[in-house]
Each structure stands twice: as structure tokens, then as C-alpha cells.
Structure 1
Amino acid sequence: MIHRRCILAAGAVLPFAAQAQAPQAQAPWQPTRPLRMIVPFVAGGSTDVAARLVADQMGEKLGQPVIVENRGGSGGNIGGEMVARAPADGHTLLMGVTGLLSTNPHIYRTMSFSPARDFAPVGMCYTSDLVIVVPLSLPARDLAEFIALAKSRPGELSFGSSGHGASTHTATELFRIAAGIDIQHVPYRGSGGAMNDLIAGNIQMMMIQIAGAVGAVQDRRLRALAVSGPRRHALMPDVPTLAELGFPQATATSWGAVMTTAGTPAPAIARLNQVLREALAMPMVMQRMANAGVDPQASTPEELAAFLVSESEKWGRVVREANITVE
């Protein structure tokens, strides 16, 4: 079950729970052809890394390859729609993330699908703390100096994200509200372009998963100011947490979870959950995920259903307070 940081809520779990019912005992489901795992972002980020690690191992255990496809755009909605409209037979998976599953329904005025209605939970995959990074050219050596600079130039500094509603966007809005600063959002189609512009100094800040920034920080192309999790991260042990710096209300963790198309038979979901959990328990997978800055995190489908409801409520409040909308 999910243990890390008590991220599951104990409240009502509908409507996701309607897709997470325990199956009756019967022969294990087996796929009849290769599976697809849709990653709703461009290649190279922590979501993509985690997806490829578990897809390889799940494929070995299922006897059919699990092929990762990157389908970025619209804050993950393009990839999400592919899975929502796929046959409900267990052969199409989604590496769903915080933004797509819990934030997008609150910010997009029109969506062609509903995550709560059109996806079925399979299991959690990972959690990932974020880090606030700035270019070395910015005259801010620590978080206090960055906040002071932003307050002295209201509306002039900008931050990048991997798209409207992504955790790189909403977690920064949570921090912006807590710090009382006015900085402008510049959305990108994935984190890669945002990071390139950040290093070049075209934008002044980004809050990104540690996996996406650790190399640039170690190479002294970016400066890390704070991590978003409740404790310091092993990959950046010298970087303080937001809570240490006086902003416990801005603590945030992004995550990834494997979903499939709603209506998929319960035996297929049970088998997919089993092989996902087995993959996440493998020492090689655990080590490679840790090296990439993400923490393996398993769950049952029912636990994931409850978590998705609680996360939707949390980030819905941030969306309303920050007045985030997308036409």
C-alpha cells in the first residue's frame, strides 16, 4: 500500500473508485499483443524515465512488450485523450501525472474526456520532489534574495513550466501565493524547452522535478534555491526545503500513476497492478529511479482511486486561488 508521506486520503473515492473494484478469483489475465504506455509529454523528463523503467519490466513479466509512446501537448490532454478513447481491453496504458489527472479538469474550460470518468486506476508508480532553480546570471544567491528581487520588480520576472496545469506550474503558483510575489507564467510543451530558456536567462525561475535539474545544477549551469518536499533530497542534500526557509504551506510533491481505459475488465487491472508492483520492487528499478530523482511508490487500484480524489481537491483549491484558466 502507499506509505510515503501519507499521501492517500481516507475520504470518499468516487468516481475513480468505480473503476477500481476488486475482481473475483479467476485465471490471471494475459495480454494477446504488445501493450502501449502513453507518456503525455515529450521524452526526457522524469515521467518518461519512470515510464520506460517500469514498461520494460512489466513487458517481461507479461510476456508482451510494453512500448512507450510520447504524445505531448495541451498539458497532457493529447496523450490522455488517446487512452480515454482506446479499447477497454488492458492493452493501452497511461503514465498519468499530477496535472493531467488532478488539475486539468479544473483549468480547462472544455476537455474532450474526463479523467475521473474515462480512466481506470492501475497503481501508483512514483513520487518526485521539485526544486526551485534560477540561472546563474540572476542576482539571487538564495531564496530570500530571489523573493526580494521579485518584490522589487513586480510582474517583471517570469517562470517556466512544462505546460498549463502541470505540477511545474501549479506547484510554482502555490509557492508564489505563499511568498506573496508577482511573477509571470510562461508555459512550454514539456520541460526541455523551458530548461533551455532558463539556462539562457530568457526566463528567471523554474520549479521542476529534481530529476530534470540535478545535472544542470551539478554542472553549475543553474542554481538551486529550495526543494519542495517535506525533507531534503538525497540528490541535493545541501539544498534546504521550502519549509526550512519559512514556507511550509508551499510543500508539494509531484507524482506519476499508471492508468488504463475505463471499462477495462477487473482481471486485466489486477494483473497489470501485480506486474507494476513487482517491477517497482526490483532493486535495479528502485536504484535507477532513485538515481533519476524519483521515488518508487506502489499502491493498489483502490488506494490510487482515493488518492486521486484527494489530489483533485487540493489542486482545485490552488487553481481557484491563483485564477488559472485555459480556453
Structure 2
Amino acid sequence: MPSPKASLRALFAALLASCTLAATGADYPDRPITIVVPQPPGGAADAVARPFGQLLSQRLGQAVVIDNRPGANGNIAAAYVARSQPADGYTIFFGSVSTLAVNPHLYKSTGFDPLKDFQPLTLTNQTPNVLIVGAQTPYRSVAEVIAAARARPGELNFGSAGNGNTMHLTGVQFEARTGTRLTHVPYKGGPAALNDVIAGQIPMMFHNLSAVLAFQKAGKVRILAVADTKRSPLVPDVPTMAEAGAPGVVQIAWSGMLVRSGTPQPVVDRLVREMKAILQSPEFRKPQEEQGSEILVSTPAEFAARLKADYTTMGKVIEAGKVSID
């Protein structure tokens, strides 16, 4: 029988080997991975996360589970990943500009710090917000909307998915840049607001291009301008806000994959490498682009820089517009 000292040395060596293996990420992944999505199943985020997760599963050789955790504009899901899950790469957060760059300026406590608690991996997709009006409205240009808003200050309503989201903030920017005063009508989600635009209950809203493209093609809404610095190839005849008479109104809704800060670098490197391959593959890109998303591929540093820049910009927009959560 080995002596007690020999047994302890063997145990110590085994523990050391195990720690070294974990630190290098050599055995990653050896169990299922979870992608936490801060929206309910069936939404726009889900439409990206699920096919992405399927392809990531194929590349990593492990199951990838989608965990939908809606609530508090994404704060519940973000706090769950940032504070309740280990920094080991087995829990990935599908974050967005709303949750990471907007919410910290609206809530007294989100339960997480977007700049400290997360390690960005890569941006995945983006879509610009657009100004849409119902097909039954008389408005056929941004100039006509501005003229109507100036003629009747505060009487022209616009809908959004709720106070403080990027749809609402695009409206705030629009008011500031055009010298108009609109009335914001918050809904419990973008689909409900869009339905009322289509039904004629409200005349207009600012929404993601990917969410309204099919309705524009069906003649149910008109897209008057794109809140981007360039025109969208999906609607090349639609001007940018600047071209349409509202310079400075730029609001692009982006999403990306992140893990907890402190995740071992080899694990981060592996995830970035596999995710980059997915985002560059026609199998993933083509259906997403057909739905109105622009697919992005970035380095962790590029993602971190964009998050920090938008965090600062959104803070200024919210402060200037005196936006608050009910």
C-alpha cells in the first residue's frame, strides 16, 4: 500500500493537473453549453440565437441549449449570467445594445455592470431602426411628418416597445434633431405597437428594419427613412434620416455574444474562432440577411469598443431627453 504521504502527493498532483487543464481550456467543452437569450421564444433575438446555437453545437461537438429568460428589458438574463454563473464559457449571453448600453442609464440597479462583468466575444448582427407610418396615413416623407408635428405640437403619436428601449430613444433623437414635439405611446413589446400602426390606432413608430420589412412588402406600412449613416441594401430607395431632413438621427440595434469576465483565455479564443466561422458561413448568413439583419463579425476588442462608445452615447441621449422608466 502507498504511504499516506505518497497518497497526498498523488492527490495533489491530480488536483494540480485538473486545475492546469481547466486553466488552459484543453478539455473545453466537455458538457452542454447554454446561450441565455433575454427575450421570449419566437422573437427576433430567438430567430438569430437558435440557428446560431445549432451550428455552434455542430462545431463544438456538444449540445447547445437556448435558455429564454425575458423580463426587465433584459436585466434579469444579464444579471443571471453576470452574477449567478461561473466564468467558464459554459454560459453565453446573447446581449444587445438595449440591455448593455441603454438599461444601465435607466435603472437604479440592473444587477450587473456591462463594462466590467462581461467579456465580449463577437458582434453577431445589427439592423437599423426605421421610421414607419401606417399605409392609411397621409405621410409619404419625413418632411411631411415634421411639418405635421410642427403644426400640431404634441398631437402626433409614436409607438414603441416601452419606455427606454431603442425605438423610444430614436423618437427622442428625432424630436431633438427636428425641433418637434411628439407624444410617446409605450407598449408592452414592439409587435403590439406595430399592430396598432398597421390597424391605424397610431400613425407611426420607429422600429427595427428586420421587424417591418415583410409588412412594407405587403403594403401595410411605409418606411420613410433609415436611422443609419448609409442606405440599406434591403430598401435601397429609402433615404437615410440625414437625406430625409433629420440629420443626426442614427440608431442601430446590434446584438452579440458574451461570457463572464474572467473566463479562461483559451476558452474565449476557441469560442471566438468557432463563432467567427459560423458568422462567415452562407448557411447562417443567407437566411438572416433575407430577414433584414446585417451579419457582423468582430474581434473581442472591437466589440468592447463599440459597447463602450454606445454606452456613452446612449447615456447622453437619455439624459438630454429626460427619459425614465415608469
Give the TM-score category using the shorter length.
Answer: 0.7 to 0.9
TM-score (norm 2): 0.86
Aligned residue in 1 for 2:249? 250
**What is the match of residue 74 of structure 2?**
76
Range moving further from structure 2, 104-113 or 188-197: 188-197
The alpha-carbon deviation at position 209 of structure 1 amounts to 1.3
Aligned twin of 2:104: 105
Partner of 2:207: 208
Work out the CA distance in 2 between the residues paired with 1:322 and 1:122: 32
1:56 aligns to 2:54 (yes or no) = yes
Deviations 1:188-209 (A, max 9, x none): 3432222122212233222111
**Corresponding residue number in structure 1 for 2:161:** 162
Which is bigger in relative contact order (C-alpha 8 A, separation at least 6)?
1
Query: Identical aligned pairs, as a percentage?
Result: 36
AA of the residue aligned to 1:111: T
3-state SS of the aligned residue for 1:59?
Answer: helix
Shift of 1:45: 4.2
Do 1:42 and 1:190's aligned partners in 2 also have CA atoms closer than 8 Å?
no
Using the TM superposition, give the Cα deviation of residue 26 of structure 1 relative to its aligned residue in structure 2, in angstroms.
Answer: 4.7
TM-score, scaled to structure 1 = 0.86
Q: Is the 8 A contact 1:75 1:164 kept in 2?
A: no
1:109, CA displacement in angstroms? 2.1
Flag the 1:218–1:29 CA change in 2: closer, same or farther, 3 A.
Answer: farther
1:123 and 2:122 aligned:
yes
**Per the alignment, do residues 29 and 218 of structure 1 end up closer, same or farther by CA in structure 2, a change over 3 Å counting?**
farther
CA contact (8 A) 1:74 1:163 kept: no
CA contact (8 A) 2:129 2:251 kept: yes
Q: Kindly indicate whether the alpha-carbon contact (under 8 Å) linking 1:90 and 1:264 is maintained by their aligned counterparts in 2.
A: yes
Corresponding residue for 1:320? Answer: 319
- Matched with 1:16 is none
Structure 1 residue 49: Cα displacement: 2.2
Distance in 2 (CA, whole Å) between partners of 1:188 and 1:270 is: 40
- The higher radius of gyration belongs to 2
Mean alpha-carbon deviation: is it higher for 44-53 or for 79-88? 44-53
Change over 3 Å in CA distance of 1:169–1:44 after alignment to 2: farther
3-state SS, counterpart of residue 298 of structure 1: coil
- List gaps (5 residues or longer) in structure 2: 1-22
1:29 and 1:306 map into 2 onto residues whose CA distance is 30
Local SS of the residue matching 2:243: coil
Secondary structure of 1:244's partner? helix
Distance, in Å, in 1 between the alignment partners of 2:70 and 2:156 is 26
- Note the C-alpha offset of 1:114: 1.8
Shift of 1:303: 1.9
Deviation of residue 27 (structure 1)? 5.7
Q: Could you list the per-position Cα deviations for residues 49-93 of structure 1 after superposition, in whole angstroms to 9, with x for gaps in the alignment?
A: 222232221111111222223322322212222222222221211
Moved over 4 A (4+): 25-29
